Amino acid sequence: MFMDEINQLRRMGFRAILLQALNLATIIAGGLMGWKALCLATNSESPIVVVLSESMEPAFARGDILFLTNFASDSYEIGDIPVYKIPGANIPIVHRIIHSHTSTVTHPNGTTTETQLMLTKGDNNPTDDLGLYHSYMRGMKWLKRDMVVGKVRGFLPHVGYVTIVMNDYPQLKYALLGTLGVFLLFNKEQ
């Protein structure tokens, strides 16, 4: 089975192999560039996230994909669903806002700064997130804007399960990436 491939490699010659490697690198770089462009366009550090928990059932189930934006002009109101990351917590949380308190301070030079304090709750949780805040950060009473990664704008069901499975079984991930790489390397334009 592999003899064919090795023979093929021999026949291709050095330049052709380099060209294929370049193709592979272009695809990887293209993907990275696309992701970074999306980060810039949405102003969010991770504009696409996969739901991992059941805390927002039945709105979002495990494996659903969410699309986020985090523009400075985005206002967060009751009912909106932010994704937030508390310093010290390893995974971001997606829950719904149930309290909001905004105070506006006008400075002597005429500019104003707004501070918004929010409280969130998972639709499927019996209580709000105050205990969750405490467990990650002592003394944290409110969710503030600087911990928000983005606001949920779009929804695509189930597709994210692929990444969950790959994270649960890393061998599968490497096997898949390996095969993909090999195929790209040997794929000749006919």
Partner 1 sequence: MFSAWQRLQNTSSWALSVCLTLLAVISVSSWYVLPTVPLGSIGLKSFQVVPGSGSQSNLEYALMRLDVQSDLTPLFANWNTKQLYVSVVADWNSTVEGTQSSVVLWDRIITRKRPEAAKLRIEGLKAKNVWKVRRGGFKTIPSCHLSLKYDIMPYVGIVTPGIGARARNPTWNVTTETATNSFGEWDIAVPGVKSGGVGS
130 contacts partner 1 (rule: CB under 8 A): no
Among 78, 91, 165, 175, the residue binding partner 1 under the rule CB under 8 A is 78
Q: Which are the contacts of 70, defined by CB distance < 8 A and separation ≥ 6?
A: 42, 43, 44, 45, 47, 148, 149, 150, 151
Q: Is 101 a catalytic residue?
A: no
Element (H, E) at 119: strand 112-121
55 is catalytic: yes
29/23 Cα distance (integer angstroms): 10
Answer for the pair 110, 40: CB distance below 8 angstroms, yes or no. Answer: no
CB 53 within 8 A of CB 75: no
Could you tell me the smallest distance in angstroms from the CB atom of residue 90 to partner 1? 26
> Does residue 171 belong to the site contacting partner 1 (CB under 8 A)?
no
The contact mask relative to partner 1 for 21-50 (x = CB under 8 A, - = no) is: ------------------------------
Q: Which of 48, 54, 123, 166 binds partner 1 (CB under 8 A)?
A: 123
Sign of the alpha-carbon dihedral angle for 21, 27, 33, 35: negative
The one-letter code for the residue type at 15 is R
Residue 14 beta carbon to partner 1: minimum distance, rounded to whole angstroms = 27
The yes or no reply on residue 98 touching partner 1 (CB under 8 A) is yes
Structure tokens given for 1: 């089975």
175 binds partner 1 (CB under 8 A): no
Catalytic residues: 55, 95, 129
| Residues that bind partner 1 in the complex, under the rule CB under 8 A | 58-59, 77-81, 96, 98-104, 123, 128, 152-157
